[in-house]
């Protein structure tokens, strides 16, 4: 899809009483909005207009090619597609093929590199041992100490209970402290829920049926989803700016169906308070070498390294070796902090107070006429990409299609 096609406007309305709006307006060009748009056009022939305040489609999955290195940069951090949902897998394969990439993570601790998630290889390397699976299980149960069999309420004690004190303190405690800028003893246990420990040498990060990266990139995949003349896209447009025609007030007055994927608290002008999020900052480092880490993602588990992990984008796509610069590589170091208004929200904090506040916003959202709230921001949930697509397909069937049938 060309940029001209992407930005084409068909019958852009003005603010006059004769404005002719499309059948559906979607606020946000991320995976949720694009999926709903594609489904609406395919099943009803609706005219759909998508607006986004950013200057690109794809939401946080947007990627671009770095000219110097040839690496595909994931602008909002590493995005790795994986799913066990056949409906989702069949759907995405309509628009892209996938590489055979399998995600594996490594962690640097005390000057040594270990495989993650914690597995028999990690355990034997850490303890300089050759435990069998049964021996390793017994060891970790012993290392939980007095916390074994209890139900800890803070993350620190929960981590010790799940994987024993030595492994927890080496790989989880400081990493989590950096992620949350909070001592793990002051964090709720629910944040980790469980810590996977594998008593074999399997270091595949995900356990889903299907996994891979889009063969020619995330942005190409998403352009194909909306490559239909009945779908128009306008970027750099603020839904709350009443000087442009696709604004909240005008669309409500006209009774136009809207799919809203922005922050739910922003939709209601924060009238009940702000929902809390974590955000991520990136520091770019370039090296005069073809490969710096030898892997796509390196965690840094120790407190004396200020960032949580580093992403070397070239290593996500070794199949593109011939189009990449053999003498230069680019790495992004990732720093986590609490988000302020105006930051990119990544992870909902989800304290009990946040959950209670969201419940109030959710009730207000359900009462909004002709409006469907969706996506990570619109529902205050952390979703992987396959979850976003699955919820979008369901939302189209159960909520958007009935609006278009009126």
Indicate if 382 and 244 belong to the same structural domain.
yes
Residue 84 is assigned to a structural domain of this protein: no
Number of domains in the chain: 2
CATH number of the domain to which 167 belongs: 1.10.3110
Residues 358 and 393 in one domain: yes
- CA–CA separation, 148 and 4 (whole Å): 62
Q: Which residues contact 87 (CB under 8 A, 6 or more apart)?
A: 390, 393
Decide if pLDDT at 13 tops 50: no
Q: Examine the domain organization and report whether 166 and 43 are in the same domain.
A: no
Cβ neighbours around 217 below 10 Å, total: 20
Reply yes or no on whether the pLDDT at 9 is more than 60.
Answer: no
User: For the CA atoms of the chain, what is the radius of gyration?
Assistant: 23
Same domain as 233, residue 187: no
The pLDDT confidence band at residue 7, using thresholds 50, 70 and 90, is: very low
Q: For 308-328, what is the mean pLDDT?
A: 97
Residues 371 and 267 in one domain: yes
Q: What is the pLDDT of residue 293?
A: 98
Question: Are residues 260 and 137 both part of a single domain?
Answer: no
Both 252 and 378 in one domain: the answer is: yes
- Note down the domain range covering 124: 105-191
Q: Which one, of 342, 368, 201, lies nearest residue 266 by Cα?
A: 342
Q: Do 170 and 114 belong to one domain?
A: yes
Catalytic site positions: 194, 198, 278, 309, 334, 382, 384
Give pLDDT tens digits for 267-291: 999 999 999 999 999 999 999 999 9
pLDDT tens-place string over residues 183-220: 999 888 888 876 778 999 999 999 999 999 999 999 99
Q: Looking at the predicted structure, is the pLDDT value of residue 175 above 80?
A: yes
The enclosing domain of 391 has a CATH number of 3.40.50.720
């Amino acid at each position: 899809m060309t940029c001209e096609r992407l930005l084409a406007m068909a019958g852009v309305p003005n603010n006059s009483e004769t404005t002719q709006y499309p059948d559906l307006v979607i606020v946000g060009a991320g995976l949720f909005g694009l999926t709903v748009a594609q489904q609406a056009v395919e099943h009803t022939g609706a005219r759909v207009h998508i607006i986004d305040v950013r200057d690109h489609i794809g939401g946080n999955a947007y990627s671009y090619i770095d000219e110097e290195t040839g690496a595909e940069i994931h602008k909002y951090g590493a995005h790795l597609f994986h799913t066990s949902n056949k409906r989702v897998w069949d759907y995405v394969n309509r628009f892209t093929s996938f590489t055979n990439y399998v995600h594996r993570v490594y962690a640097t601790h005390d000057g040594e590199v270990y495989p993650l998630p914690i597995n028999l290889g990690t355990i034997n390397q850490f303890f300089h041992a050759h435990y069998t699976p049964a021996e390793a299980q017994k060891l970790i149960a012993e290392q939980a100490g007095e916390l074994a069999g209890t139900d800890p309420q803070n993350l620190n004690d929960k981590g010790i209970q799940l994987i024993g004190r030595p492994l927890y303190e080496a790989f989880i405690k400081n990493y989590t402290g950096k992620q949350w800028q909070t001592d793990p003893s002051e964090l709720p246990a629910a944040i980790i829920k469980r810590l996977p420990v594998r008593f074999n040498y399997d270091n595949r990060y995900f356990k889903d049926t299907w996994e891979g990266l889009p063969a020619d990139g995330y942005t190409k995949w998403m352009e194909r989803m909306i490559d239909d003349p009945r779908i128009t896209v306008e970027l750099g447009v603020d839904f709350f700016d009443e000087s442009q025609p696709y604004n909240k007030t005008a669309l409500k007055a006209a009774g136009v169906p809207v799919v809203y994927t922005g922050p739910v608290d922003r939709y209601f002008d924060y009238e009940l308070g702000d929902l809390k999020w974590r955000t991520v900052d990136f520091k770019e480092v370039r090296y005069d070498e073809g490969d710096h880490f030898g892997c796509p993602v390196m965690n840094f588990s120790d407190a004396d390294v200020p960032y949580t992990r580093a992403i070397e984008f070239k290593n996500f796509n070794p199949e593109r070796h011939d189009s990449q610069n053999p003498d230069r590589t680019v790495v992004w170091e990732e720093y986590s902090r609490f988000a302020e208004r105006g930051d990119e929200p990544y992870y909902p904090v989800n304290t009990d107070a946040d959950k209670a506040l969201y419940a109030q916003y959710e009730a207000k959202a359900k009462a909004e006429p002709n409006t469907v709230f969706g996506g990570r921001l619109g529902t205050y949930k952390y979703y992987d990409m396959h979850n976003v697509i699955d919820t979008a397909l369901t939302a189209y069937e159960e909520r958007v299609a009935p609006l278009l049938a009126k």
